[in-house]
Homo-oligomer: A and B are copies of this chain.
Amino acid sequence: MSVAKAGEFGLIARITARLPAGQSTLLGPGDDAAVVRAADGRVVASTDVLVEGRHFRRDWCTAQDVGHRAAAANLADIAAMGATPTALLVGLCVPTNLDARWAEELSDGLGAEAALVGAAVVGGDMSGSPTLTIAVTALGDLGGLAPVVRTGARPGDVVAMCGRLGYAAAGYTVLSRGFRTPKVLVDAYRRPEVPYSAGPEAAGLGATAMIDVSDGLLADIGHVAKGSGVAVDLRRDAFEVPRQMRDAAHALGVDPYTWVLAGGEDHALVATFPPGLALPPRWRVVGVVREGSGVTVDGRPFRGPTGWQHF
């Protein structure tokens, strides 16, 4: 059944009936607005838009995959402030001939990804549009800690990261060349594995700055360097290139470090910490903060693409 036939209110009812509730949801979908717990007295909020053909393709990803990816991109932004996500709101623009099931399964993916961190879809809006577009807003709670911003890195800090790098970019390249394997890379593109809990962990450890890698490590740590007025030097040998990524890179004629250093969408968290701190093992030290400006790898500029172009 098309979304036009299901009708706005019918489709919304079908979608909301499938959505799990969250522990911070005080009033969920169905009213003018939702009400979400914000125990801290502050709320963290971020919005991301995904446009078909630009941020996702329906022939590469199931509707559930797109839901997972859309939620992950937003929930990672909340984690990168050091906060715990509490809620998602979803603005959905759909061609009127879209199968209503696609919208329902998208919501399933959004709800399932949110549930990984105890959050839930609490509201949204829907409209017809020639262009399938998903606008997601995520809310989060700081749990009494100061937000970890991009502007706090200081010379002498160490740069550490948690999560995966290059997997989603490799999966994207694989898919764009018409392949469907290696599965680990393609799956990483379809449903990123974001280390959400590492965000509040870093805040608790005293991280001076943090960002999630959505546009590529060099571009994103570049935002931290610029915002903080410092230079960042990364150590190339700190990054591991797993075997399947190395093999795929070889087969496709790609330098795998392009994926690792310039590929986005894995939503790893990268933070700067005061020197001498004992970091939990999932945080890997990959560089240092210095006086100056710009980002280097082993002291030199990295040659190759450095991030995602949005236009």
Which residues of A pack against B, CB within 8 Å? 3-4, 7-8, 26-27, 30-51, 54-55, 76-78, 80-81, 83, 87, 89-93, 96, 122-131, 133, 135, 137-140, 142, 147, 149-151, 210-212, 227, 309-311
The residues of B that contact A51 with a CB separation of less than 8 Å are 93, 127-129
Other CB < 8 Å A-B pairs besides A27-B147, A32-B46, 18 of them? A8-B310, A26-B147, A30-B150, A32-B77, A38-B42, A46-B89, A46-B123, A49-B92, A49-B126, A51-B127, A54-B127, A89-B137, A93-B133, A96-B311, A126-B310, A128-B311, A129-B131, A130-B131
A-B contact pairs, 21 of them (CB 8 A): A4-B311, A27-B149, A31-B81, A32-B81, A32-B211, A32-B212, A33-B140, A36-B43, A43-B43, A45-B123, A45-B137, A46-B89, A46-B123, A47-B90, A49-B91, A49-B92, A51-B93, A91-B137, A127-B310, A127-B311, A137-B137
In the complex, which of the residues A35, A81, A210 has the most CB atoms of chain B within 10 Å of its own CB atom? Answer: A35
Contact of A45 (CB < 8 Å), options: B36, B76, B151: B36
A44-B35 contact, Cβ under 8 Å, with A96-B311, A310-B8: yes
- Assess whether A77 is in contact with B33, with CB atoms less than 8 Å apart: yes
Contact of A47 (CB < 8 Å), options: B27, B125, B140: B125
Compute how far the CA of A111 lies from the CA of B49 in the bound complex, rounded to whole angstroms: 20
Compute how far the CA of A139 lies from the CA of B90 in the bound complex, rounded to whole angstroms: 14
- Assess whether B47 is in contact with A91, with CB atoms less than 8 Å apart: yes
Q: Give chain B nearest CB distance to A85 CB in angstroms.
A: 10
